[in-house]
Amino acid sequence: MTSELTQAADATSRKARSVVALAGGVGAARFLKGLMQVHPQDDLCAIVNTGDDANFYGVQVCPDLDIITYTLSGQINRTHGYGLEGDRFDLLQTLEELGHDTWFRLGDRDYANCLHRTLQRQAGKSLREVAASLTEAFGLDIELLPMSEAPCPTFIELNDGRRMHFENYLIQERSPAGVRAIDLSAAQQARPGDGVLEALEQAQSILICPSNPAVSIGPILAIPGIREAIAASGAPVVAVSPIIAGAPVKGPAHHLLPALGVPVSALGVAQLYQDWVDGFVLDNLDAALVPEIEALGIKTAVCETLMSKPGVDSQLAKTALALAASLRKSTT
Ligand code: GDP
Ligand code: CA
């Protein structure tokens, strides 16, 4: 790339985005795909959890950033829920034959993207720049901002005394019950990623994706300065519940929320978020919880939130944006 082109790319990536979302992986990716259909992609930004990041097979893997990139470009492997459609696993197969432990599944093209990240980082590029180069390679205009440049791994502590990285808990151990604590101390000592505070400052609406509150949204908020920037932005903050009828749609939120003392319900999530959200979108199945959530001082919208049928994602995104817009009007 010539320096002129680089400058043009930098200017584009610095363009203020009026809708800024906080995002984990799967639930966030589904929601952002809906958001892209109802709002211009080049006006969207997502601040993405990096607490799940880890090194595997010599490369830096950023599960949430990559799930979002692969989902939004329509290239996610729908059967697995991670990785790229049609990817092969020759590299992992070879490593396995050579005696390596290969519990973390990484396809060949997926591996190449992570190797690109690793090489770019070694060449002095920031994680933000690498995220931008990957979204561009996948034909996306949304801006994905890693929550932190430095590694800040989330650790899980089990009742049996074992302590492990979140990916070991999720994949190697298959996310068992009996979680005693979620250790976000690395995030608590990290600095916000490049561009994160600026994005929040310029936001007109802040949306909290239906992501795991404990291990996706929690680590982002644990970074000193991010909560303050959300409050200072003056933008309405609207969260979408990842819990429907007392259960997560996918993943181990039902084993993790209890470790925070939070009931596994839309009300529990609203209580956890009550100090910093203005609006909350919950599922039709949970409509009975509206009075209790509104009693917390949070405005609600109720709609279908299970994004497995076509069109639900964009309707849900519209509902969240409309709730944010209504809260903006009433506060100015
Ligand atoms: P992860 O990092 O891949 O676990 O992804 P997230 O943290 O973004 O998403 C996990 C959360 O997404 C879980 O708590 C799920 O309940 C939630 N989720 C996944 N799909 C849907 C959906 O279609 N609707 C809603 N409301 N939540 C969802
Ligand atoms: Ca994740």
| Ligand 1 center from residue 237 Cα (angstroms) | 19
Distance CA 96, CA 108 (A): 14
Domain count, the chain: 1
In a domain, 6, yes or no: no
CATH of the domain at 73: 3.40.50.10680
Series of mean pLDDT values for 10-residue runs along the chain (332 residues): 46 78 98 98 98 98 98 96 96 98 97 98 98 98 98 97 98 96 98 98 98 98 98 98 97 97 98 98 98 98 97 98 88 46
Q: Which amino acid is at 138?
A: F
**Axis crossing angle, helix 108-122 with helix 127-137, rounded to the nearest 10:** 140
Gap from CA of 6 to ligand 1 centroid (Å): 35
| Residue 298 maps to a domain | yes
- Which bound ligand lies closest to the C-alpha atom of 28? 1
Q: Report if residue 167 sits inside a domain.
A: yes
Q: Is residue 14 part of a domain?
A: no
Which ligand is in closest contact with the Cα of 211?
A: 1
φ, ψ of residue 256 to 5 degrees: the values are: -100, -40
What is the spatial distance between Cα 69 and Cα 63, in angstroms, rounded to a whole number?
Answer: 10
Q: Is residue 65 part of a domain?
A: yes
Which structural domain range is residue 261 located in? 19-330
Indicate whether 300 belongs to any domain: yes
Domain contains 13 = no
DSSP 150: S
pLDDT of residue 102: 97
Residues 298, 277 contacting (CB under 8 angstroms): yes
- The answer to whether 108 and 90 are in contact (CB under 8 A) is yes
Give, in degrees to the nearest 5, the angle at Cα 60 between 55 and 65.
Answer: 120
Q: How far is CA 42 from CA 76, 224, 319, in A?
A: 21, 28, 20
pTM of the model: 0.95
Best probe residue, ligand 1, of 72, 105, 250 (max atoms within 8 Å of C-beta): 250
Q: Which of 26, 154, 281, 312 to mutate to test the pocket of ligand 1 (most atoms within 8 A of CB)?
A: 26
- pLDDT of res. 1: 40
Smallest CA separation from ligand 1 atom 18, residue: 27
**Is residue 290 one of the residues assigned to a domain?**
yes
Which residues, judged by CB distance below 6 Å to any ligand atom, belong to the binding site of ligand 1?
A: 24-28, 30, 64, 67, 209-212, 216, 240-242, 244, 248-251, 253, 305-307
Ligand 1 center to residue 122 CA distance, Å?
A: 32
